[in-house]
Structure 1
């Protein structure tokens, strides 16, 4: 597992999903992502980045929620799946993430160059 693209795919498959509260974006603040994850996202202008940071939001947060939900970074997928990053509205998957998978996500994030989304 040394190709970032492969690692991301494997980790994505192992992070449980759940339904968020409609209209909520409490976890959609500025986040970082690896270069490989950034390649999957639309490029935003400096002005869009500045406006998002001013509002303390993610640049990909739209009026109806995440505009890149299917391609969102691993850190975004982790929100709500672990008690250490709990959803403020109490939403969570039926089964929380395996602690070892969570550690692998954090290890991947620490071991790759991260940039502000």
Structure 2
């Protein structure tokens, strides 16, 4: 397992979960993810990517929400768990993510090659 994969796994385990509003997909715009994170996701065609981008959606957003929710990238997991990335519906975990965990996610994003999801 690569060093980045270990960091991703550790960070994923430290980001609190919370219940989203059913049917909401406000956080499901195009995002970037590292190659390690992309390796966990199904491969989509160029046409699927272009169609999602034209709607400013994530390519993994389906009719019933995120199709890769359990494997979603760190930036998706962070949304709604920090006051700097609040849920527009006011949903949040009981406790905000620890600031050092949020900083760790942003540091990993800044130091790894990112590709558009």
1:17 aligns with 2:17: yes
Q: Which consecutive unaligned segments of at least 5 residues does structure 1 have?
A: none
How far does residue 77 in structure 1 lie from its aligned partner after superposition? 0.1
TM-score w.r.t. length of structure 1: 0.98
Q: Which consecutive unaligned segments of at least 5 residues does structure 2 have?
A: none
Counterpart of 1:111? 111
1:55-70 matches, cutoff 5 A: 55-70=55-70
Moved over 2 A (4+): none
1:101 aligns with 2:97: no
Counterpart of 1:75? 75
TM-score w.r.t. length of structure 2: 0.98
1:27-66 matches, cutoff 5 A: 27-66=27-66
How far does residue 75 in structure 1 lie from its aligned partner after superposition? 0.1
1:85-96 matches, cutoff 5 A: 85-96=85-96
Higher helix share: 1
How far does residue 90 in structure 1 lie from its aligned partner after superposition? 0.3
Aligned length: 116
How far does residue 45 in structure 1 lie from its aligned partner after superposition? 0.3
Secondary structure of the structure 2 residue equivalent to 1:14 = coil
